[in-house]
Structure 1
């Protein structure tokens, strides 16, 4: 605000501006040279005490984190889908075609969950000396199963590979990313499906008010910590967000939850849904050949997120 008059012009800042500047400066030190929207996103999910929450710019930052990567991924999927001959696609269910394309793209990107699945599969007796191509073929089968509308539990070989890829026979050393990815995929398979589009999701995001944004942040942070606790065999209880990539992931989860909450039971929480997905996978894989792995009590003890969040039986 500017005040004019004989005394000249001076700038008056609202109360709390100094705290907000300090919070932004602290996050900027974590990741220098961020864009203003990235800086605001990290500040928000790092739970800096912003007395003046700029909801308009924050929703723009959330939209950038969600829609940009989503549209680029969808374009890449569509190009890969169009490259498959139509007569080949007609031989298999539509959801299988799309699931296999997503699996191929994930393997091409070679993210941490792919690397961990490959290493875990290599511990199978018949795959100890397998080549990279042979292992990737098995990872492709696992990821295709996780990306389908429903898990092909009738395919014993795929379920055996899934169990090995998740290291469900015991504590998942170096398998945290694989667990988190599989938990999210399985929670989507267990959920009701509703058709939506980018324009609808954008309008729903823009309609959120400050109390809803703060509540959704709480749910997302709870979900990130719960999955991190499960994937660390119960050793780590809280996953604080101090990096931009994790903040962007949290932003995508928040926008996604704004749609998902409309098709789940009232009072559902994303942390619960993800853990239900993980325990559902474990329950299915524990019935697969090759050993039953640890018992339910041991698994529950390792993956329980703590007294603040109860776990339902799968």
Structure 2
């Protein structure tokens, strides 16, 4: 059966992408339309001249973006997210929300499956009466096993504590796991002064060392603690899905701007600015940004009104940790340094001096 010739509207898009060096076929356009990644053209009546098909405004920009990112192994969800985050193209609402939901809930389900597997390793008689603690401990052990530069830096930082320089690897890892566990709990156990001393050592704000690993430790701890600064409220996957479905495209665009700002700042710190801009044209980064958008959509509701992701998950969180560690140190040693000296010592870590406060 012979194929129907492409419409004039499709021929225009085919010529446009070919001129860009990323040609698409009529069959590819049809496939994207069927899957909701492209809007369908409308028939426009021209009076005596008959009719023509016309795509909605923004379709040219969308097709150019999809064509640029299309390639082997890239799913339609990848294309939707790449077009949305990298080029800010007008991806159709249903296709966008479907891609956001699939990426977010896939990551979320994998995380909780790993946590459940880790918790199952603990004999029933050794489990805590506090389910939040058991979950936090499981998450900590997963992070510890993941290792990497962040965990190695935490170990080095802890060994600077008096009495730990020659501690065994097992003891150091137990303390790292303790720090991670308590950061994953709903609230910091500030009455545990030994833990607070370990946390202060892991943060290592007093050191003059400058390294990407040290910054990565700050980033990791700050992100974890940001959740502890929020209002404690139970939520569910169903609630998060409903919130995503009900969001307007304008609300999603605002969240995109927030998440991109936070991601770009994190990337800059993590790379020392040596690798240029955040590579959002890579599917992995687009998926990560998508998951962060859906997570922040819900998390934003339990932070103070007007909270900004980039500040709340780094600057505000670090400043709060600094204050809590300082108060714990005073309780532990009975020695304080005075507010002026404390602010002078810690402003570089939080970046407050750049805001004039």
Aligned match of 1:161:
198
Which of residues 95, 107, 113 is equivalent to 2:150?
Answer: 113
Which of residues 83, 88, 105 is equivalent to 1:43?
Answer: 83
In 1, the alpha carbon distance for the partners of 2:186 and 2:348 equals 30
In 1, the alpha carbon distance for the partners of 2:92 and 2:135 equals 39
Shift of the alpha carbon at 1:191? 0.8
Residue 351 of structure 2 is aligned to residue 304 of structure 1: yes
Structure 1, unaligned runs of 5 or more = none
Describe the SS at the equivalent of 2:127.
helix
Aligned match of 1:64:
102
Describe the SS at the equivalent of 1:150.
coil
Q: Over aligned residues, Cα RMSD in angstroms? A: 3.3
Do 1:138 and 1:161's aligned partners in 2 also have CA atoms closer than 8 Å? yes
In 1, the alpha carbon distance for the partners of 2:350 and 2:88 equals 31
- 1:191-270 matches, cutoff 5 A: 191-227=230-266, 240-242=278-280, 243-270=282-309
- The superposition leaves residues 200-230 of structure 1 with CA deviations (integer Å, 9 ceiling, x where unpaired) of 2112112222111110011112333455667
Aligned match of 1:12:
9
**Which is further off, 281-290 or 264-273?**
281-290
Shift of the alpha carbon at 1:156? 2.2
Describe the SS at the equivalent of 2:302.
coil
Structure 2, unaligned runs of 5 or more = 11-54
In 2, the alpha carbon distance for the partners of 1:21 and 1:292 equals 62
Describe the SS at the equivalent of 1:98.
helix
Do 1:230 and 1:305's aligned partners in 2 also have CA atoms closer than 8 Å? no
- The superposition leaves residues 33-70 of structure 1 with CA deviations (integer Å, 9 ceiling, x where unpaired) of 33231233233223x142x3222222122112211111
In 1, the alpha carbon distance for the partners of 2:193 and 2:61 equals 58
In 2, the alpha carbon distance for the partners of 1:113 and 1:25 equals 38
Greater RCO (CA < 8 Å, at least 6 residues apart): 1
In 1, the alpha carbon distance for the partners of 2:231 and 2:120 equals 28
In 1, the alpha carbon distance for the partners of 2:186 and 2:356 equals 24
Aligned match of 2:117:
79
In 2, the alpha carbon distance for the partners of 1:151 and 1:9 equals 62
Tell me which protein shows more helix as a share of its residues. 2
In 1, the alpha carbon distance for the partners of 2:356 and 2:270 equals 15
In 2, the alpha carbon distance for the partners of 1:218 and 1:156 equals 39
1:119–1:245: structure 2 CA closer, same or farther, 3 Å change rule?
farther
In 2, the alpha carbon distance for the partners of 1:55 and 1:113 equals 38
In 2, the alpha carbon distance for the partners of 1:73 and 1:209 equals 28
Do 1:304 and 1:311's aligned partners in 2 also have CA atoms closer than 8 Å? no
Aligned match of 1:102:
139
Based on CA coordinates, which of the two structures has the bigger radius of gyration?
2
1:160–1:207: structure 2 CA closer, same or farther, 3 Å change rule?
same
In 2, the alpha carbon distance for the partners of 1:104 and 1:286 equals 27
TM-score (norm 2): 0.71
Give aligned pairs, total.
297
Aligned match of 2:29:
none
Which of residues 264, 282, 285 is equivalent to 2:325?
Answer: 285
In 2, the alpha carbon distance for the partners of 1:306 and 1:16 equals 42
Residue 310 of structure 2 is aligned to residue 271 of structure 1: yes
In 1, the alpha carbon distance for the partners of 2:126 and 2:230 equals 29
Do 1:230 and 1:303's aligned partners in 2 also have CA atoms closer than 8 Å? no
